[in-house]
Chain A
Amino acid sequence: MKKKLVKGNEALAQAAIEAGCRFYFGYPITPQNDIPEYLAREFPKLGGTFLQAESEIGSINMVLGASAAGMRAMTSSSGPGISLMQEGLSYLAGSEIPAVVVNVQRSGPGLGGISPSQGDYFQATRGGGHGDYRTPVLAPASVQEMWDLTFLAFDLADRYRNPVVILADAMLGQMKEPLEMRKPELPPLPAKDWILEGCQGRDKRLLKSLYLGEGELEKHCWRLWAKYEEIKKKEVRCEAYRIEDAELVVVAFGSPARIAKGAIMEAREQGLKVGLLRPITLYPYPEKELADLADQGKTFLVTELNVGQMVEDVRMAAGRRAEVHFYGRPPGAGSLPSPEDILHEIRETYPAR
């Protein structure tokens, strides 16, 4: 297939169209404006709905409405806007309504800045809203994955009737890379027998998250839990690069994983046995893969664009068996590490045998 040079945010937007999404609601915020701008231009030609909402609270709830009617609907934002959507995400999860929410991360806390960051890892993976719920979180690391994972996000959302988060960052959104506009083969989806469109020829339907009856909510929460367990069993995705003989495994997701790869190649040239484990799904997290590596006695170096968030999941998965080092680069102008920076850390933490 021929490749085209495309910007990350635009690849994501076009993939949403190809995945059958025709409803987008959003509110402007840097660094993701190319997504709404692209869809504002393309949707009218396709009979789709682009609507600039009054706020991100408005956007997420418009998504909830369109999705309740069975449509593939999406919103995108960054940091502060995603914070405003958390209540809506919790309702979507509680009422089991699918949705795709894209966070092209900028830096925080507060207004922070617009440089690439991974400071929203906790918010995305722990369910930044209230209550016992989880959302699958997909972390692209290339323009190709901005495309591919968008298809997967809509698929998972419909398959599990759950909101799905795509956690990108400013660098992925803004950079251009060759893109193969392929359509993935995905297994057939369950019928949407829960949607609201008027109760013609059937009993009325209700989509809700309020359960006040004795024991009702407990049952509901356990049912959701069972769904999350199924997701954990079936949907873990990660990339392993040269880990078989590695003494040190770098763990990174998104943009830093690319930089780490460069550093690993250089380290290999210098005779160091280093590999990379790159989680593609941040929830469900590749716990088992990490635990196995820990069992094999490998040492870990976690690198993130923050002061240490995913590293907690690595420590949890590795338990006490393995040494886990952390190299963090909190956001700020020029804060992206260079391959040399990471190589330096690799040398510092490489196990002495």
Chain B
Amino acid sequence: MSETAEKLLNPRPESLVDIPTHFCPGCHHGIVHRLVAEAIDHFGLREKAIGVACVGCSVFLYNYLNTDVVEAPHGRAPAVATGLRRALPDRLIYTYQGDGDLAAIGTSEIIHAANRGEPITVVFVNNTTYGMTGGQMAPTTLLGQKTTTSPYGRDFHQAGYPIKMAEFLAPLEGVAFSARGAVDRVANLKRTRKLIFRAFEVQVQRLGFGFVEVLSACPTNWGMTPIEAAKRVEEEMIPYFPLGIFKERKEADHL
């Protein structure tokens, strides 16, 4: 008689806490959390990792990631991470930030942390809206997109253009890695997994600042079903926010 053993092909990463999610159905935050947890496990650094949670739906990272976490004020996670980095030079320091947090109120902190080449990893979740506060316009809101504070659709005459953070940060000397991925379908998810791993790896190798933007669905505030929302990522977001690597440094070069 042959033995049949059940084998879990994708066991829960150790860096992910085993609790039910509270995120809305179809929200991509949970998927991104898992990829971050897998990356931390991959480098075997769970017990040496400190996360910085920001303000937004993304703050609840602290419930799901099984690492030490400190909460930062809205937009200030890269500054908090800088303080941690200087205090704990051999630890793994990462931030997890939404688009309002990183690309609006926190632009000063992100630019200067990147420019200093802080060896930290920043995971940037772009869902083109302010999730937690109820779907207002974000700096990443697409032209024509209706939100509660752009009820007629975002108009560049009035509100400027959606900001492309991964491209924007890439040219800074301190940035070792800058890329954009999506998790709307399996092929993209697999590629994004690699991007997130790489954004952590450049920190481990002390090459500089690691940045990865992930296009993410917010079905609740987009007024869509989870499937429609994933489709919107592909049909509306990716054409404007192209996926790919915008900067990759292979070795430390000190000018």
Give A residues with C-beta under 8 Å from B: 23, 25, 49, 51, 53-55, 57-59, 61-71, 73, 87-88, 91, 95, 196-201, 204-210
Question: By the criterion CB–CB under 8 Å, are A66 and B71 in contact?
Answer: no
- Complex-state Cα separation, A210 to B72, whole angstroms: 10
- Contacts A61-B109, A197-B91; is A23 near B67 (CB within 8 Å)? no
Contacting residues, chain B, for A54 (C-beta < 8 A): 108-109, 111-112
- Complex-state Cα separation, A53 to B78, whole angstroms: 12
* Stretch of B44-52, B181-189, B211-219 on the interface side: B44-52
Closest CB in chain A relative to B18 CB, distance in Å = 13
- Contacts A55-B108, A61-B109, A210-B59; is A95 near B83 (CB within 8 Å)? no
Question: By the criterion CB–CB under 8 Å, are B68 and A57 in contact?
Answer: no
- Contacts A53-B79, A71-B87; is A65 near B52 (CB within 8 Å)? yes
Question: By the criterion CB–CB under 8 Å, are B83 and A207 in contact?
Answer: no
- Tell me whether B66 is interfacial, beta carbon within 8 Å: yes
Contacting residues, chain B, for A201 (C-beta < 8 A): 47
Closest CB in chain B relative to A253 CB, distance in Å = 30
Closest CB in chain A relative to B106 CB, distance in Å = 9
Question: By the criterion CB–CB under 8 Å, are A205 and B68 in contact?
Answer: yes
Binary contact track B76-118/A, C-beta < 8 Å → 1, others 0: 1001111111111001100000000000000011011000000
Contact of A23 among B46, B47, B87, B92 (CB under 8 A): B87
- Contacts A54-B109, A198-B50, A198-B91; is A23 near B83 (CB within 8 Å)? yes
Question: By the criterion CB–CB under 8 Å, are A207 and B70 in contact?
Answer: yes
Question: By the criterion CB–CB under 8 Å, are A61 and B72 in contact?
Answer: yes
Question: By the criterion CB–CB under 8 Å, are B83 and A91 in contact?
Answer: no
Which interface class (under 10, 10 to 19, 20 to 34, 35 or more) fits B? 20 to 34
Contact of A206 among B69, B88, B91 (CB under 8 A): B69
Question: By the criterion CB–CB under 8 Å, are A204 and B66 in contact?
Answer: yes
- Complex-state Cα separation, A264 to B73, whole angstroms: 47
Question: By the criterion CB–CB under 8 Å, are B70 and A66 in contact?
Answer: no
Contact of A208 among B62, B66, B83, B92 (CB under 8 A): B62
Contact of A210 among B49, B71, B112 (CB under 8 A): B71
Give the residue among B47, B50, B81, B108 with the most A Cβ atoms within 10 A: B50
Question: By the criterion CB–CB under 8 Å, are A197 and B109 in contact?
Answer: no
- Complex-state Cα separation, A25 to B88, whole angstroms: 16
Closest CB in chain A relative to B240 CB, distance in Å = 29
Q: List 9 A-B contacts (CB under 8 A).
A: A57-B79, A64-B76, A65-B79, A66-B87, A91-B71, A91-B72, A196-B69, A197-B91, A199-B67
Question: By the criterion CB–CB under 8 Å, are B70 and A57 in contact?
Answer: no
Nearest CB in chain A to that of B74: its residue: A87
- Tell me whether B53 is interfacial, beta carbon within 8 Å: yes
Give the residue among A87, A198, A210 with the most B Cβ atoms within 10 A: A198
Contacting residues, chain B, for A73 (C-beta < 8 A): 83, 87
- Complex-state Cα separation, A54 to B66, whole angstroms: 31
Contacting residues, chain A, for B82 (C-beta < 8 A): 51, 58, 62, 65
